[in-house]
Structure 1
């Protein structure tokens, strides 16, 4: 890492890289959910349906999207749902669990446990020693059961039902149950992971399971490994993009860039970074491509600076007030509109940016809508974070 930019990478090449490396061009689509997760590094898991919709958009054949993704998540355990960057739930390839935990989870976990102990103390609840006893008992019960809900674990460890008042006297005062907060802490610490949902693949209520064993890695080495893996998929990216995506301090980002020998390139936004092996130009897919990506899709949420693939004037209709992106329609590496599912199951879409979107594009977008409806079937999918355009189209 060092020196001036080696070359300029324009918007056209960056959009072409999306088509190839994010498996969106028809000729580069994947055959299995594991391949999708590995290619993208992480699939957003805050909205459970996003995982399946993001996988389905990138599979060569989407008929078995749900069954194959459930197999990878809950039978083979090739994919793991856990807390990661920015204190957000993601689905990662199993081989990245240790890397994510060391690079990001350890810091978050320490903060979460300290916050829980502090909140309990303020409420006059039992102390950290009591909490440790409950934790040990709960983990043992979870190990015996294999998978369990918080309510089921409370049958074995009744102290999990204890409640305490949070932020007493404040406008956001509330009552927390020990099980809710403790399981969250154990999740960030890498001791438990989310198991099968209680309902269908769109359900947001999950069972818990003991996390698979993984080695404890050096933090700096893990950060370098994660940043290098992501940059190979999403590079070039600015320092601001990297800091936002990882949730790390700028000093940590710079240390990781130096560790992997990242190379500077010039972008319209300023200096961008690529891996040492990725300096040469990259061609996009041979055929033009269209995609219907879900809310919180990892491509749409991949960078903090998005003007090169998403026009600023489209954002009010495609994002909610918290900055969460809704379902998007893509044409050749840029967002051109949005989509939704109506109550009768129909997939409807609208192009918001007309420039460069002719008959070929509309035919390709329509074909993707039909492909999506074909495998979603009778399931109704409503994004957890709804946006103005999605609400309007859903009707």
Structure 2
């Protein structure tokens, strides 16, 4: 083992998280795109998570400013991408996310849908699908941003139903509208526009858009890997493979193109950082944060042991591995929080990080309650502690 490898302690990793992820107050950003880039991408499966994750990383930014970034400026966009999951990424990074990840998902989605059409036996094929897609785009051009229900009413092809898994115990009848819309979105030909309802709603309208500029796949993967290493390093090849959902071959080729540096961790194992990034980061003043379920700072690694006590996992995760709302103290998960039906923000520390932590968390909870206002936030994935805390 080379003695030239720098050791990065667990405390330093937590410092990096606070600084790089814009969670320590002096390092907070000013735009939603900056918040997204700080963690490469914001989880967007849960509509409210994007807003709450951005809020935690920005100074004095309200709901209206976040909506403007998405729907007026298009500075941040939602994309089906890493791990076949919905993320929000900056417009600057979107072409690399599309070429490295999203377009491969779109191709797989297309193959799956065409197989379902073929197996259904109604004579629906690739030509029919292409016609349905063009008709959907034409409807958006004519009618403007529209929900899936509105598109189904405007495009007869979208009202078709097919039988999936015919003859098996999983046989079911499905409408094609959701699948065609999902495919157009994965291809980058439509994007999510303002939802019906409030910022916590997932009933998005859709709008026609130009596909992202093409970037060579290898170059796109290398750029995404480089940015991920800067945000999440020290980390491992396994962490990157898990986070992206790439094959091991693609993961290794991307890392080889980046040329990361190896560092030592406290347990004696090795990990990777971006080239030239092995030096220390500023140690922030003590800080607390209340992050939503699925926040990137909790979900950025396959191995989260440096910031999460394994004993706390059963309370904070659901059975599918989705983390709920978390309380952070100095770069480590210290507990969880929830919103009660009356709007109150309640939290619990797991363990005893000290009186200073309690005061800081209370202040953050008050700041979050003021920001949320009259809105009510229920995580899409409920966890044991969140359910307990939110009970009336």
What range describes the TM-score normalised by the shorter chain of this pair? Answer: over 0.9
Residue 381 of structure 1 corresponds to 377
- Measured against aligned partners, the alpha-carbon deviations of 1:338-375 in whole angstroms (never above 9, x if no partner) come to 00000110000001122xx1111100000000000001
Residue 88 of structure 1 corresponds to 85
Secondary structure of the 1:300 match is helix
- How far, CA to CA, are the matches of 1:8 and 1:391 in structure 2? 40
Residue 171 of structure 2 corresponds to 173
Secondary structure of the 1:118 match is helix
1:55 to 2:54 alignment = yes
After alignment, is 206-215 or 327-336 more displaced?
A: 206-215
Secondary structure of the 1:41 match is coil
1:46 to 2:45 alignment = yes
Change (3 A) 1:4 1:208: farther
1:138 to 2:136 alignment = yes
Change (3 A) 1:175 1:27: same
Secondary structure of the 1:147 match is coil
Superposition deviation, residue 200 in structure 1: 0.7
Superposition deviation, residue 266 in structure 1: 1.7
Residue 210 of structure 1 corresponds to 208
Superposition deviation, residue 214 in structure 1: 2.3
1:276 to 2:281 alignment = no
After alignment, is 306-315 or 250-259 more displaced?
A: 250-259
Superposition deviation, residue 256 in structure 1: 1.0
Residue 79 of structure 1 corresponds to 76
1:24-39 correspondence runs (5 A): 24-39=23-38
Change (3 A) 1:186 1:15: same
Contact 1:13/1:283 (<8 A) preserved: no
- Measured against aligned partners, the alpha-carbon deviations of 1:293-342 in whole angstroms (never above 9, x if no partner) come to 00000100011101110011100000000000000000001001000000
- How far, CA to CA, are the matches of 1:229 and 1:279 in structure 2? 15
Superposition deviation, residue 213 in structure 1: 3.8
- How far, CA to CA, are the matches of 1:124 and 1:221 in structure 2? 41
Contact 2:153/2:159 (<8 A) preserved: no
Superposition deviation, residue 4 in structure 1: 8.2
Contact 1:5/1:263 (<8 A) preserved: no
Superposition deviation, residue 161 in structure 1: 0.5
- How far, CA to CA, are the matches of 1:26 and 1:338 in structure 2? 20
Contact 1:234/1:302 (<8 A) preserved: yes
Residue 390 of structure 1 corresponds to 386
Superposition deviation, residue 3 in structure 1: 7.6
Unmatched tracts of structure 2, length 5 or more = none
Q: 139, 144, 149: which one pairs with 1:151? A: 149
- Measured against aligned partners, the alpha-carbon deviations of 1:89-113 in whole angstroms (never above 9, x if no partner) come to 0111011111001000121111110
Secondary structure of the 1:349 match is strand
Contact 1:15/1:284 (<8 A) preserved: no
Residue 306 of structure 1 corresponds to 304
Q: 347, 361, 365: which one pairs with 2:361? A: 365
Secondary structure of the 1:329 match is strand
Which gives a bigger RCO, structure 1 or 2 (Cα 8 Å, sep 6+)? 1
Residue 184 of structure 2 corresponds to 186
Over aligned residues, Cα RMSD in angstroms?
1.6
Contact 1:55/1:65 (<8 A) preserved: no
Q: 114, 117, 120: which one pairs with 1:117? A: 114
- Measured against aligned partners, the alpha-carbon deviations of 1:36-75 in whole angstroms (never above 9, x if no partner) come to 11212100000000000111112222xx421110000001
Contact 1:195/1:207 (<8 A) preserved: yes
Change (3 A) 1:198 1:270: same
Q: 236, 239, 260: which one pairs with 2:258? A: 260
Unmatched tracts of structure 1, length 5 or more = none
Superposition deviation, residue 270 in structure 1: 2.5
Q: 292, 313, 316: which one pairs with 2:314? A: 316
Superposition deviation, residue 5 in structure 1: 6.9
- How far, CA to CA, are the matches of 1:41 and 1:100 in structure 2? 10
